[in-house]
Amino acid sequence: MMGLLISSALLLAVTTNWVLAQEQQQIKCGEGALCPEDLPCCSQYGQCGVGAYCLGGCDPKYSNSLESCVPAPICESKDYSFTDLDGIVPNTRYLGDASKADWVSSGAPLPYDGKLLLTMAEGSVGTLLASTHYLWYGKVSAKLKTSAGKGVVTAFILLSDVKDEIDFEFVGTDLETAQSNFYSQGVTNYNNGAKHAGIANTLNTEHEYEIDWTPDHITWSIDGKQVRTKQKSDTWNATSNRYDYPQTPARVQLSLWPAGLPTNGEGTISWGGGLVDWNSKYVTNGYYYATFSEVKMQCYNPPSGAKVQGSVSYTYDNVAATNDTVVTGNKPTVLKSLLGSGTNMTADYPSAAASASASAQTSEVATVPGLTGAGPGTNGQRGDIQSGGSSSESDSGDSSNTDSSTSAATGFVQGGGSNGSGNGAAVQRPEGILQGSLFAVVVAVIGLLAM
């Protein structure tokens, strides 16, 4: 009888919370819409929650308050290899302690022959790795082989919590070209992009890609050769009265994602080379993959006039989210549990003795944001097909490797927009409610055993 009661309770808890998960409408955040107090953190994908929503990618501009996001771990110069995955922690387990993990993952990273595979199987939205330490100006490089195929995008980028972005991206239908790009606070100016052709097959040949980011300029290099430089002085926007230049602490992100999902915008699909072919010759063991062997991160000193009050974390003191609003301080970065936020760092799940009603409340809380099919940056947010146009920028570099006439068609948005809300996003969405649902099951069992 007791066994039947336990089985029934388990089934009821799982079924009830599954229904709640399916019916729950994810609260959105963005321009003109802040997160509510009970779900205070605006994730990289424009959704409100607690826990992982408040860690890497939490946007202070659209969270309930500037303090809602957990302070970001300060930069650490380090060389990363991938002989194993010991330094990679899934986003369902990471609580903000950058001393215990180098990377946070979404999707399915795999080890192979001393290297890292980012995989993308049918029904998934690919794999994303984000560094636990942030970079506020510095030099970062990655050695990698891209994936290939229509609608398949490999990316190596810097992305800040307010969506300042610097990119190297690779579309799977062009294996001899890298695309560089930059964005300021997620504004989709596709004229910022450039193409760098003449690279030996990016699928079969490993190349080293480097981004050198200073307060005054950005330089992109391939195999030690500079291919592009962008001066901050050339990015002044008289309308907004600010520089449209990446200037806030950013995470290094490595990703493989499907631009060619039918649920993405037409512009994203076209830029990515068309719809993904899941029967392609480039699919191995049921998935596409990109290979990374090494990442190097070198930190630069904070910019002149920076608010340096400590050496542990980065925060913001103004929603303008510009260079002069970043504070380097000693605020802690680690949550007690995935129910916490920047304003309640010690929030924890109820104890085993807590009532089932208390656990039911936690079961509905979104704790882990899902990776959307539109990818982690700005190019994934292309809606309608963009009209052509030449770039107006005057970057310096190897002009033979830069096709500015097609730069309007480049660009990859790593912020995840509304275009990623179809099948790909649906695969990941229940992940955000999983933690509370499992806890409800545990409490139900403990309650029955205590009877």
Render 298-341 in DSSP notation, one character per residue: EEPPPPTT-EE--SSEEEESSTT-SGGGEEEE------SSTT-B
Structure confidence at residue 304 (pLDDT): 95
* The pLDDT value given to residue 372: 58
226-236 burial, b if ≥16 CB within 10 A, otherwise e? ebbebebeebe
- For residue 420, the model assigns a pLDDT of 33
Catalytic residues: 165, 169
Do 158 and 248 contact (CB within 8 A), yes or no?
no
Half-sphere exposure of 124 (CA within 13 A, CB side): 19
| Spatial contact of 297 and 254, defined as CB atoms under 8 Å apart | no
180 phi and psi angles, rounded to 5 deg: -110, 150
HEC letters along 146-197: CCCCCCEEEEEEEEECCCCEEEEEEECCCCCEEEEEEECCCCCCHHHCEEEE
pLDDT under 70 in the chain at which residues? 1-25, 352-364, 371-451
Instruction: Find out whether 121 and 258 touch, Cβ atoms under 8 Å.
Output: no
pTM of the model: 0.80
Helix (H, G, I), strand (E, B) or coil at 354: coil
The partner residues of 228 in beta bridges, in order of sequence, read: 220
Please choose, from the candidates 56, 72, 74, 59, the residue with its C-alpha nearest in 3D space to the C-alpha of residue 29. Answer: 59
pLDDT value for 351:
72
The answer to whether 358 and 339 are in contact (CB under 8 A) is: no
pLDDT of amino acid 365? 83
pLDDT at 395: 56
Specify the pLDDT at position 378: 62
DSSP state of 239: T
For 79-115, b/e burial (b = at least 16 CB within 10 A) is ebebeeeebbbbbbebbbebeebbbbbbbbbeeeeeb
DSSP state of 406: G
Are the C-beta atoms of 134 and 76 separated by less than 8 Å? no
In this predicted structure, what is the pLDDT of residue 11? 35
Please report, rounded to a whole number, the percentage of residues in the chain having pLDDT higher than 90: 71
Tokens of 267: 């512009």
